[in-house]
Amino acid sequence: MATREAAPPQPLRLRATRRRWGEDFVKVGLALCAFVSVATTVGIVVALFEPAFEFFREVSIVDFLTGRDWAPLFEPPSFGVLPLIAGTLLVTACACLVCIPFGLGSAIYLSEYAQPRTRRILKPALEVLAGIPTVVYGYFALTFVAPLLQDIGLPVGLFSALAAGLVMGVMLLPTVASVSEDSMAAVPRDLRDGAYALGSTRVQVATRIVVPAAISGIIASFILAISRAVGETMIVLIAAGGQPNWSWNPLEAVQTMTAFIAATGQGDVPTGSVEYKTIFAVGATLFVMTFAMNLLSIRLVRRFREVYE
Amino acid sequence: MSTHTSPLGSGRPRGLWAGRLFGGFLVVSLLIGFLTLGALLAQVLLDGYKWVDPVLFFEPPSADPLIAGARPAILATIYIGILLILFTVPLGVGTALYLEEYADRDRWYNRLLEVNIQNLAAVPSIVYGILGLAFLVRGLGLGRVLLAGAMILTLLVLPTVIIAAREAIRAVPDSIRQAAYALGATKWQVVWRQVLPAATPGIATGSILSLSRGLGETAPLLLVGALTYVSFNPTLLGDFTALPVQIYQWVARPQEEFRTLAASAIIVLLAILLALNAFAIWLRNHYERRW
């Protein structure tokens, strides 16, 4: 009996039989949309650093980064950026005083203590704080918090780093709470159950199991909040004052990098003048600081996603 | 008296007080957020409610707070809102479709694009203002016009629209795509007739939320020159001021009356944003499908 040889299976051809130009056209169009984001980044870098380099041709970069006197409009001018950085860090520190402990506390409550139904109401309600325009927070710092600080006996004026920082801290509270809560929610139930089975209390589970397990996401939320605090403009422009200040005293008025940029950029500064270029030099400093923090926090968030999801 | 000794130690609830203290701290943490929100709203409403009147809506700004209004600012904010939707939705959805449906994840440039968008979402808004000042206002010679303001806000909110649209597109189950392919649809037919309609509610919600963020932005507009005295209705290529900028101008004045005026303008701004957010939430609850 003759056996028939089975023909070897033909590989399936999955390619389209003819090229569809319309499909290619669509793909190119969508890629062009995506290209806008790349162009934005390139645009930001060019817009900031090209004038900044010109600025550093006229002003020594060492003087810029180490000088303690910021007076670009004086004669002779002085371009030490440290007072602006000090003002920025001071306001940021005041903001962290609020948003880090209370943001983390809110996150622990939402993730470990609240009933699912309560969480469904509380979480979006807390997010409302993040949706309020910053100019409104500025108004609030100036008309409510500054007088309140005076009423409780602190020797603050109408403008202070403290008032601006505290309000900014409340604004950033949902940022810390929601990113931290996400990373705590990613911690597997088994870890909690194991700890409870060993007789742990709720506090112990929250502080010794969940927080350490979610630590990369929690730290990412802190870094993100600090980066936002450094880059925030309107609250400090309205409520922190406009005087560069190297005293490190939160009760005094300070000027931050962002407030300087906004105050100088809103006027009719002649293009090409040194004053015009200071906007870009300070802007580049601000961009480098926030860029480093953002990359770090993106990387940390990716890590907790990789570990548990 | 015999006592049972448990291997876990005595039955005394150790750390009871620590537990209560900790619980108390957590509740206080949450309260700080909500109390501040309450104080803020109360302050704005009590200060500003009496001047939310026809003068505010129909009169131009003036050096005399009693007759000053915010008509040009309110109109400009509405124009900017329309332009923002027109610019950001096609660009944002296009980018999201490219990343989710077309891009090869393993290519380095696509991964770079993703990190780039994440990073852009966290760039300080004032930096976008510098970009606008350097390229749109001075570089292109567009001048300090409404179109420049709308364009810079577009770039500012674009990353959030992209991220929201990507999530909506990702939520569409793969079986729908496979079924369409099985019926002989081309890639674009699958995307246009199946994926996009299914993702529309999510995209719309995300876009509206981003729009409300863009409309509340002040800092970038200061640098593209919205801080001029404008007493006429805005045009696309003319001087402009927007509602948040108008609020800033009034807050920055030392007179008490202008602070009150600022509070009443804040009420209008918050009402616009609240309406947008409520609409977005309604859209989500009403149309979003769970697969």
58-87 of B, contacting A, C-beta below 8 A: none
List A78's β-bridge partners, or say none. Answer: A71
Q: Do A294 and B122 touch (CB under 8 A)?
A: yes
Q: Which residues lie across from A251 on neighbouring strands?
A: none
d(CA A30, CA A22): 12
Residue B1 has a pLDDT of: 41
Q: Which two tokens stand for residue A115?
A: 């009933």
Please, are residues A179 and A130 in contact by the beta-carbon 8 Å criterion?
no
The pLDDT of A169-190, averaged and rounded, is 93
Residue with token string 């909690």: A192
ipTM of the complex: 0.90
User: Is-contact A279 A261, C-beta < 8 A?
Assistant: yes
Distance CA A239, CA A252 (A): 11
- Tens digits of residue pLDDT in B250-272: 998 888 899 999 999 999 999 99
Does any CB of chain A come closer than 8 Å to the CB of residue B287? no
Q: What angle (nearest 5°) sits at the alpha carbon of residue A261, between those of residues A259 and A265?
A: 120
Q: B189 - beta bridge partners?
A: none
Per-residue pLDDT at B12 exceeds 80 = no
Contact A261 B269 (CB under 8 A): no
* Dist CA A216 CA A267 (whole Å): 43
Region A169-187: what's the mean pLDDT?
93
- Stretch B48-68: mean pLDDT: 87
How high is the pLDDT of residue B230?
76
Place A301 in a pLDDT band, splitting at 50, 70 and 90: confident
For B29, which residue in chain A has the nearest alpha carbon? A102
What would the two tokens of residue B46 be?
A: 């009590």
Q: What is the pLDDT of residues A267-291, one digit of tens each?
A: 777 777 888 889 999 999 999 999 9
Q: Is B193 helix (H, G, I), strand (E, B) or coil?
A: helix
Residue B4 DSSP SS3: coil
Task: Write down the pLDDT at residue A68.
Answer: 85
A105:B29 CB<8 A: yes
Q: Give the chain A residue nearest B184 (alpha carbons).
A: A16
How much is the pTM?
A: 0.90
Q: Which residues of B touch A294 (CB under 8 A)?
A: 118-119, 122-123
Q: Summarize the confidence of residues A222-239 as an average pLDDT.
A: 95
Binned at pLDDT 50, 70 and 90, residue A15 comes out as low
Phi, psi of A123 (to 5 degrees): -65, -50
The region that residue A77 occupies, defined by phi over 0 for left and psi between -120 and 50 for alpha, beta otherwise, is beta
Q: What is the mean pLDDT of chain A?
A: 89
Residue B2 confidence (pLDDT): 43
DSSP string, chain A: -PPPPPPPPPPP--S-SS--HHHHHHHHHHHHHHHHHHHHHHHHHHHHHHHHHHHHHHS-HHHHHH-S-EETTSSS-EE--HHHHHHHHHHHHHHHHHHHHHHHHHHHIIIIIS-HHHHHHHHHHHHHHHHS-HHHHHHHIIIIIHHHHHHTT----SS-HHHHHHHHHHHHHHHHHHHHHHHHHTS-HHHHHHHHHTT--HHHIIIIIIHHHTHHHHHHHHHHHHHHHHH--HHHHHHS-S----S--TTS----HHHHHHHHHTS-PPTTSHHHHHHHHHHHHHHHHHHHHHHHHHHHHHHHHHHH-
Residue among B235, B231, B214, B99 at smallest CA distance from B151: B214
A29 and B94 within 8 Å at the Cβ level: the answer is yes
Report residue B154's pLDDT band, with 50, 70 and 90 as the boundaries: very high
pLDDT band with cut points at 50, 70 and 90 for residue B226 = low
pLDDT (0 to 100) of residue B13: 56
* Measured distance CA(A165)–CA(B235) in Å, rounded: 37
Percentage above 90 pLDDT, chain A: 61
**Residue B5 clears pLDDT 60, i.e. is over it:** no
Backbone angles phi, psi at B18, to 5 degrees: -60, -40
- Residue A2, pLDDT > 90, answer no
Radius of gyration of chain B (CA): 25
Average pLDDT for residues B118-142, to the nearest whole number? 88
Q: What residue of A is the nearest CA neighbor of B151?
A: A40
Confidence of residue B227 (pLDDT cuts 50, 70, 90): low
Residue B218 CB neighbours (<10 A): 28
Residue A308 has pLDDT above 50, yes or no: yes
pLDDT at B91 (0 to 100): 96
Lowest mean pLDDT among A47-51, A162-166, B230-234: B230-234
Residues of chain B positioned with their CB less than 8 A from the CB of A291: 119, 123
pLDDT confidence of B162, banded at 50, 70, 90? very high
**Dist CA B13 CA B29 (whole Å):** 25
| Cα distance between the two ends of chain B | 62
Average pLDDT (B116-122) is 91
Q: Mean pLDDT over residues A82-104, rounded?
A: 95
pLDDT of residue A1 exceeding 70, the answer is no
Q: Do B219 and A233 touch (CB under 8 A)?
A: yes
Provide, as residue numbers in chain B, all residues whose Cβ is less than 8 Å from the Cβ of A47: 130-131, 134-135
Which residues, including other chains, have CB under 8 Å from residue A110's CB and lie 6 or more apart? A119, A122, A123, A126, A177, A181, B30
B244 touches A: beta carbon within 8 Å: yes
3-state class of B79 per DSSP? Answer: helix
Tell me if A279 sits within 8 A of B130, measured CB to CB.
yes
Residue B4 has pLDDT above 60, yes or no: no
Assess A27–B contact: CB distance below 8 Å, yes or no.
Answer: yes
**Do the beta carbons of residue A145 and residue A194 sit within 8 Å?**
no
Would an 8 Å CB–CB cutoff place B15 in contact with chain A?
yes
A131 touches chain B (CB under 8 A): yes
- Whether the predicted pLDDT of B181 surpasses 50: yes
| Partner A contacted by B159 (CB < 8 A) | yes
Q: Cβ–Cβ of B37/A128 closer than 8 Å?
A: yes
B139 has pLDDT over 90: no
User: How high is the pLDDT of residue B102?
Assistant: 92
- Has residue B98 got a pLDDT over 50? yes
Q: How far apart are CA A99 and CA A175, in angstroms?
A: 8
Q: Choose among A217, A111, A131, A113: nearest CA to A171.
A: A131
Q: Any residues with CB less than 8 A from the CB of B269 and at least 6 apart, and which?
A: A133, A136, B77, B215, B216, B243, B244, B247
Q: Is A163 part of the contact surface with chain B (CB cutoff 8 Å)?
A: no
**pLDDT for A16:** 63
Rounded Cα distance between B212 and B280, Å, is 10
Contacts of B122 in chain A (CB under 8 A): 224, 227-228, 290, 294, 297
What span, in angstroms and rounded, lies between the C-alpha atoms of A289 and A271? 26
- CA–CA separation, A57 and A45 (whole Å): 18
Interface contact A255, partner B, CB < 8 A: no
Residue A58 has pLDDT above 90, yes or no: no
- Nearest C-alpha in B relative to A206: B22
